Amino acid sequence: QQRFGQYTRSLMKGLGVPVLNQYGLRPATVRGQPDQIAPLTAFRDLDTLGLLRGVTTFNYHLHLPHYAVTSKDTKVIHVLSTQAIDLSRPHPFTEVGNKEFNSFLWMPPSGKRGGHILLVDSTVFTTLFGGTDSLKQFWLNVAGM
């Protein structure tokens, strides 16, 4: 189980981020290519900022967090992508039928908070776990916000 540090938890609480980092899950890979992460399931209709424009994958890390949304208000936070899970490894999250985890979330500005909040694993901002053209495009999209 992955856990956010106290600093991150207090920051998220202070910003009103309705998310729990529940698990570290192994993402699925492309069949026959054990080092190639499976494509994201992108919800492009919700991606009004174009953050996933030209993005099909992030990088492959052996355990990535599931960001569980705790708010029922669909205007507060949007799941922009999910990632398929490696189902060959037993886990309580998959044993109840889950096949994907929330991998990228966006909170638009709201109330006194004038800025956007993006939630994605920190490994997405390094090439230590592989750097693809898709990942570089993601960085460009974020930088262009």
Range 27-45 burial, b when 16+ CB lie within 10 A, else e: bbeeeeeeeebbebebeee
User: What is the reported pLDDT for 3?
Assistant: 54
pTM of the model: 0.90
The predicted-structure confidence for 101-110, as pLDDT tens digits, reads as follows: 999 999 999 9
What are the structural domain ranges in the chain?
6-143
Angle CA 13–79–65, to nearest 5:
65
Question: Rounded to an integer, what distance in angstroms lies between the CA atom of residue 136 and that of residue 143?
Answer: 11
Those residues with Cβ within 8 angstroms of residue 88's Cβ, 6 or more apart along the chain or in another chain: none
The predicted-structure confidence for 41-68, as pLDDT tens digits, reads as follows: 999 999 999 999 999 999 888 888 899 9
Pull the structure tokens for residue 72: 């029922």
Instruction: Evaluate the CA torsion angle 78, 109, 116, 48 in order and state its sign.
Output: positive
